[in-house]
Amino acid sequence: MTEKTSFVEGLTKRHLIELDACTRCSECLKWCPVQEVTGNRGISPPEKIRMYRDLINNTEGLKARLFGPRKVNRELLEEFAKAVFECTTCGACGESCEVGIFSQRLWPFLRKKMVDMGLGPLGPQANLPKVIERTGNPYDKPAEERYRPWFPQEVKVAGRAEIGYYAGCTGAYESQAMVRGDVLALGAIGEPFTMLPPEEEVCCGFPLFITGQHDRLEDLTRRLVDAYRIKGVKLLISSCPCCVNIMARDWPLFYGQELPFKIRHITQFVADAIKDGKFHFKEGLKEKLIYHDPCYLSRGVGVTEEPRSVLKSIPGVELIEFDRSGLDSRCCGAGGAARKVFHDNAIAMGRLTIDEAVGKGADRLVLSCPACYSKVNEAMEGYDKQIRIVDIMELIAELISGD
């Protein structure tokens, strides 16, 4: 680290204005799940911002310009890097921020700065670029097993179609009930849809983006966008909030132009199909369900109503809510690629979600994200409170097929 190190370079004007704007009012502290389970103020949003501001001021601020930059405080820098990677990037702080800091976008770019300076990524995150290059997915699994174990053979996939379906790596390898449910629902709706061959359906880039490793993002985006374009896709559907998020927000930037298709979360597509009379449940369900909003679906792309409208349309269902729901929901602990590095935090956050669902007397906890699904299930292992966990599309498939 030299005195010439720039903490400003690579950040946008918006990022810099946001860093300057924090008033240290501490409103966001009430909403931060990592703060809640660790009690460590060092990782709180105003503290992270203060540390980064100090780094900028000491190296490029007015005094630094007049009298020369101060030596970068290595300890402060390492403390900042840990804090920014321990955050789940859930964005709850931004939603409550009185000056409108869009934290779900700011933290990933500060992570990228840390990566550029050799202070990140942390632990297994560092293997992601190599593994994705080798196998096309972050789980180091063979491409030929991407669809095989879960794809329902009775559903037909068209060679070309205006609707494309992207399963995503976490769904395909870690949350197979969810992606099986997606495909069964698409089959039941009956509009032709297409998919890429398994070796072409590579990672959407989100794990690289969120860990600040942006080098391969343009390449992955081009491969996927061009492959769907060639298949005539006009609407691309996925059930993974992180995939939907990077596709809608960042793919146009990495592709260098507007995408040739629109992006929708599967619950939006299913909610429309129900409204248009193209999809009906074969069975009802006399259960009390509680729905958890995934951070990258609610705060990320603003999808909160459609999953609820799908659940409410199941005959017999009573839908109840967490105290914090919709745009204010509390992270289940699985986000921001922090779940494998800060495992204990993630488990503690997952258990807060379980506690509340059990306390409210829900029969089932409904999720809509493969990372939430995998981590909340893990949080329940060996825990004294138990509740049935189901992905929204897994549940829908259950009610179509009567399994």
Which residue ranges make up the site for ligand SF4 (CB under 6 A)? 22-28, 31-34, 45-46, 87-93, 96-99, 101, 103, 107, 331
With respect to ligand SF4, which residue has the nearer C-beta, 312 or 324?
324
Beta strands in 142-252 (DSSP E): 163-165, 193-194, 235-238
Element (H, E) at 272: helix 266-275
Give me the least distance between CB of 2 and ligand SF4, in Å please.
Answer: 29
With respect to ligand SF4, which residue has the nearer C-beta, 108 or 129?
108
Strand partners, 193: 163
Cα distances (angstroms) measured from residue 22 to each of 6, 25, 33, 53:
21, 8, 19, 10
Please tell me the distance from the alpha carbon of residue 123 to that of residue 197, in angstroms, as a whole number.
31
Give me the least distance between CB of 354 and ligand SF4, in Å please.
Answer: 18
With respect to ligand SF4, which residue has the nearer C-beta, 22 or 233?
22
Token pair of 164 as six digits: 């494309």
With respect to ligand SF4, which residue has the nearer C-beta, 97 or 362?
97
Give me the least distance between CB of 28 and ligand SF4, in Å please.
Answer: 3
Contact 256, 219 (CB under 8 A): no
Give me the least distance between CB of 238 and ligand SF4, in Å please.
Answer: 23
Please tell me the distance from the alpha carbon of residue 15 to that of residue 84, in angstroms, as a whole number.
15
Element (H, E) at 178: helix 176-189
- Which one-letter amino acid corresponds to residue 229? R
Give me the least distance between CB of 57 and ligand SF4, in Å please.
Answer: 17
Element (H, E) at 283: none
With respect to ligand SF4, which residue has the nearer C-beta, 45 or 69?
45
Give me the least distance between CB of 239 and ligand SF4, in Å please.
Answer: 23
With respect to ligand SF4, which residue has the nearer C-beta, 92 or 128?
92
Please tell me the distance from the alpha carbon of residue 347 to that of residue 379, in angstroms, as a whole number.
5
